[in-house]
Amino acid sequence: MEKKIKTGKVFLIAGSEPLGSAGVQADIKAITRCGGWAAAALTCIVDEDVNRIKGIHHLPTDLIVSQAESFLSTVGADCIKTGILPTEEIIRAVAGVLKTLPNLPLKGKLDNSLPVREGREGSCPILIDPVIVNFAGEQLVSDDAIAAYKNELFPIATLITPNVREAEFLLGHAISDPEQDLRKLSEWGCSVLVKSVEKGKYLVDYLYDHTTGVLTPHPKKRLELDDRNGTGDTLASAIATYLAKGDSLTTAVERAEAYMSYFLAGPRYYISVGL
């Protein structure tokens, strides 16, 4: 009988979309290609075509929680990644599930709140890919939802991965000094990867490791892409996979960036110019 190979399990808490280029669909493809096992709790169904989003339909909060508890209590995860969490209620409910994970050590106190749990080395990493602002700078969720990200999810995250517009929204100003700005974003107690900061002929992904205080730039050449939808999901899921397989944060990001270079520059399926 062929022996089964154990692999890193990445549990997704995110939305579904019909195009296959973003959301859980993109996550699952990236995790599989990087050698991990993907499982998911859906938070919403996005109805869109290649030109526009026609609607976002939230799933009931108790169903989202039940999906997550069903997997985590019986199978368990080696890394957890969140995607679109469209409401304050859903964000707080998801945070409530993550804070009860038995293998997350207690981490002091945040302000005057109860002790919160953290995903750090030696425990189940938690990667929060916030969906709060699009690349046009338009806010996608309510102020209350953003506050819930800050107060409930960021403090228990191993890594947050905002795009440059989301990072600037959280900072309240444009990124001018990456080391200082990312250190500011890490004040919730998490490491930070800010994606696609413009620097001359390059776009740079900056990683600030909260545990070491080291800033690492990952420059990449600008590519003329017709189908850039979901690239942020893909990068974050690749990082989550390598974390699930036991890599350090620095190594996981390095390997994910290498995967993205291959993914973006290599042959890819062509669907529509609208993507």
Alpha-carbon distance 89 to 63, whole Å? Answer: 13
What average pLDDT does range 37-54 have in this prediction? 92
Closest CA to 234 of 27, 86, 19: 27
What is the number of other CB atoms lying within 10 angstroms of the CB of residue 92? 18
Asked if residue 89 lies in contact with residue 250, where contact means CB atoms within 8 angstroms, the answer is no
Closest CA to 160 of 137, 199, 189: 189
Q: Running DSSP on this structure, what letter comes out for residue 71?
A: H
Q: Which CATH class is domain 9-265?
A: alpha beta
Q: What pLDDT digit, counting tens, does each position of 229-266 carry? A: 668 899 999 999 999 999 999 999 999 999 988 877 66
Q: Which pLDDT value is given to residue 273?
A: 52
Mean residue pLDDT across the chain: 86
Who contacts 163 (Cβ-Cβ below 8 Å, separation ≥6)?
Answer: 133, 135, 194, 195, 196, 232
What is the number of other CB atoms lying within 10 angstroms of the CB of residue 187? 11
Percent of the chain residues past pLDDT 70, beyond the cut: 83
Q: Which pLDDT value is given to residue 252?
A: 97
Q: What pLDDT digit, counting tens, does each position of 105-148 carry? A: 334 333 333 333 343 444 799 999 999 987 777 888 999 999 99
**Which of 25-34, 97-106, 129-138, 142-151 shows the lowest per-residue confidence on average (mean pLDDT)?**
97-106
**Which of 16-25, 39-48, 80-89, 92-101 shows the lowest per-residue confidence on average (mean pLDDT)?**
16-25
Alpha-carbon distance 174 to 180, whole Å? Answer: 12
> Domain segments of the chain: what residues?
9-265
Tell me how far CA of residue 250 lies from CA of 40, 80, 93, 119, 246, in angstroms: 25, 17, 30, 15, 11
Q: State the burial class of residue 139 (Cβ atoms within 10 Å of its Cβ: 0-12, 13-18, 19+).
A: middle
Who contacts 142 (Cβ-Cβ below 8 Å, separation ≥6)?
Answer: 87, 88
Q: What pLDDT digit, counting tens, does each position of 188-214 carry? A: 999 999 998 988 888 999 999 999 999
pLDDT at 47 over 80: yes
Q: Which residue has the higher pLDDT, 140 or 38?
A: 38
